[in-house]
Structure 1
Amino acid sequence: MTPPLLSGDRWHELLHTRATDPLAVKRAYAARTQPQHLLSARGTLFLVAADHPARGALASGGNHMAMADRRSLLARLIAALEHPDVDGVLGSPDVVEELLLLGALEGKVVIGSMNRGGLDGATWTMDDRFTGYDAAGIADCGLQGGKMLLRIDDRDPSTAGTIEGCAQAVSELAARGLVAMVEPLPYHRDDDGTLRLRKDAPALARAMAVGSALGTTSAHTWLKMPSCDDPATVFGATTLPCVVLGGIPSPDPVKDLESWGAALTQPVVRGLVVGRALLYPPDGDVRAAVDAAAKVLSAAGTAA
């Protein structure tokens, strides 16, 4: 299956606009048709994630440079956003603005990615500073909220500053009535320095508790969490609305779908936020991958 393509005309028009008309971005933000509601008519939220490159995380599957091809990334995102069950996108400012200029975000939910400073593989990676959207910018651009990554490693002092930064961002978004989508993930550093996501229920539930309590109010906070072997314990740690993140795609898309499906049946879970697993499926068929995820989300809602 040939992956989605962005025509030469659209690509060169985008490049021309970028070089000659920087104010086109501001006009596109202002003219964008806003979504009527955060949740779909089905009561769910299905977003495609595209903020990985901003943290220098370009790999997908066996291709270490997959997301470095911006033309291909944008074509894949547009294909995903064309699916009627996809509600919107989660992205860094550059990607969001390119999709805006390409006309792909009309009526879509847009969540702006805020902290991308903890570069993938960097020695300071746990010091995840806010280098993308801020709350004021998200409000000015007419976005629906902001997303922040909170990786927690009890043995890394840099975690403390990231917790503080996320708490401040939650408060600033809430003051503007905007969604704060927090992704609290527990990590452990091996003796060789490799950071590993902990997916045991106690660690995930603890991270969930920390993420729930950030800021001066939790009224506008959503949590973005991975699926796991014991979703009832993990998602039972909060009353806040949650979305299931796709995470690093496995070699078996069917297993990924089954894992997401189990988490989606939990009462607090409202939807999916998936990036590479849908944008870079093994067979290259982005539309089929998105459709399969949409059906799992729909089935979980029906079962609930």
Structure 2
Amino acid sequence: MITDADWAELLYTRATDPDAVRRAYANRVRRERLLDRRGTLFLVAADHPARGALGIGDRPTAMANRRELLGRLLVALADPDVDGVLATPDVIEELLLVNGLHNKVVIGSMNRGGLAGAEWEIDDRFTAFDVESIVDGGLDGGKMLLRLVDSDAGTVPTLESCARAVSALARRGLMAMVEPLPYRRDPAGQLVPDPDPVALARAVTVASGLGATSAHTWLKLPAPADPSVLDATTLPVLVLGGPPSGKVADDMAAWAGALAHPVVRGLVVGRTLLYPSHGDVAAAVEAAGRVLWTTASGPPS
């Protein structure tokens, strides 16, 4: 957690010493490899607030309390099974300023312009990290959200922007983490995930073909109800947590089914672990690490 003294120091640094962010990036001790010794990767995600997605259960602004969010992130990152974080520049910089990211994998979230609930939500502009800032900051890769809606032309610029980012990250030897999600509009016109396994398989194949090379592309996918969806790619896959169901055990059981597939290399989970229904972040993270340990595919024998 963050003590009162640490919080006061962070706020004072933010107001009086903006160059501290540059120094913190430069002084971060980087991890040598993306994967751990088992050949897996476990990241906590905290890029939801930048897209205006703040709600957890019946708390519509749960993730708006920054001190609470940072405290929960630090608890998660203290678990030895957690390899790193996926977040936007503001969150990464705050974690750097409190020395929370040494020897951790750090992935920068790139497109957050499709604000939750906005009329233009599918036109998901790149408003956070760009490739240059990821390189300059010594990060390990960049993540992009790609929601596919056949009836919405806003999908097209996002597709093109993601393809360019995949190519640019690959030229620098950095991970391009693409999160392809099929969406549709319900009768009320609201965007909702498309649960059809065929739609998810199609999204996987579209994302796999983005950019000039797929050599550094990873996919971030929901645990599919039909595991055969994962047969659609040879690219490494990380299973996302998705909206918390309210039952942590059920969420982890779904992840375990996907983790057994040989293309799956780990987890990227945010709200489900940072704001578990039982309230114990450390216990939720430890349980997820245990699921990963026991079910994920490791190096070839």
What's the TM-score bracket when you normalise by the shorter of the two chains? over 0.9
Match for residue 264 of structure 1? 259
Of 41, 47, 62, 1:51 maps to: 47
Using the size of structure 2 for normalisation, the TM-score is 0.98
- 2:292 pairs with 288, 297, 303, which one? 297
**Residue 148 of structure 1: SS of its match in structure 2?**
strand
Give 3-state SS (helix, strand or coil) of 1:61's partner. coil
Measured against aligned partners, the alpha-carbon deviations of 1:7-59 in whole angstroms (never above 9, x if no partner) come to 11010100000000000000000000000110001110000000000000001
Name 2:171's counterpart in structure 1: 175
What CA distance in whole angstroms lies between the structure 1 residues aligned with 2:278 and 2:5? 26
The residue aligned with 2:113 is: 117
Give the unaligned 5+ runs of structure 1: none
Contact 2:38–2:298 (CA<8 Å) still a contact in 1?
A: no
Name the structure 2 match of 1:223: 219
How far apart in 1 are the matches of 2:21 and 2:147? 32
CA distance in structure 2 between the aligned counterparts of 1:195 and 1:169, rounded to whole angstroms: 25
Match of 2:5 in 1: 9
Task: Report the 3-state secondary structure (helix = DSSP H, G, I; strand = E; otherwise coil) of the residue aligned with 2:245.
Answer: coil
Aligned to 1:161: 157
- Which residue of 230, 242, 263 maps to 1:235? 230
1:61 aligns with 57
3-state DSSP of counterpart to 1:236: helix
- Listed one character per residue, the Cα deviations across residues 177-233 of structure 1 (whole Å, up to 9, x for unaligned) are 1100000000010120111111221011000000000000000000000012111x2
Match of residue 278 from structure 1: 273
1:234–1:108 distance in 2 versus 1, CA, 3 Å? same
**Match of 2:10, as an amino acid?**
L
**Residues 227 and 244, structure 1, Cα contact 8 Å, conserved in 2:** yes
Residue 141 of structure 1, aligned match among 113, 137, 140: 137
In the alignment, the residues of structure 2 paired with residue 34 and residue 89 of structure 1 have an alpha-carbon distance, to the nearest angstrom, of 13
How many pairs were matched up? Answer: 299
Q: Which runs of 5+ in 2 are unaligned?
A: none
CA distance in 2, matches of 1:251, 1:25: 36
Please list the CA deviations of residues 206-265 of structure 1 after superposition, one character each: whole Å capped at 9, or x if unmatched. 00000000000000000000012111x211000000000000010111110000000000
2:202 match: secondary structure: helix
SS, match of residue 86 in structure 2: strand
- 2:17 and 2:238 map into 1 onto residues whose CA distance is 37
CA distance in 1, matches of 2:261, 2:290: 17
Could you tell me whether the CA contact under 8 Å between 1:200 and 1:228 is conserved in 2? no
Distance 1:280 1:201 in 2: 28
Given that 2:259 and 2:297 are in contact with CA atoms closer than 8 Å, whether structure 1 keeps it comes out as no
Deviations along 1:132-178, one digit per CA (max 9) or x if unpaired, are: 00011101100000000000000001001110010011011111111
The ranges of structure 1 where at least 4 consecutive aligned residues each deviate by more than 4 angstroms after the TM superposition are none
What SS does the aligned partner of 2:296 have?
A: helix
Answer yes or no: is the 8 Å Cα contact 1:265–1:303 preserved in 2. Answer: no
> Aligned pair 1:212/2:208, yes or no?
yes
Q: Give the TM-score of the pair, scaled to structure 1.
A: 0.97
- Displacement of 1:302 in angstroms is 6.8
Cα distance, 1:303 vs structure 2:
8.9
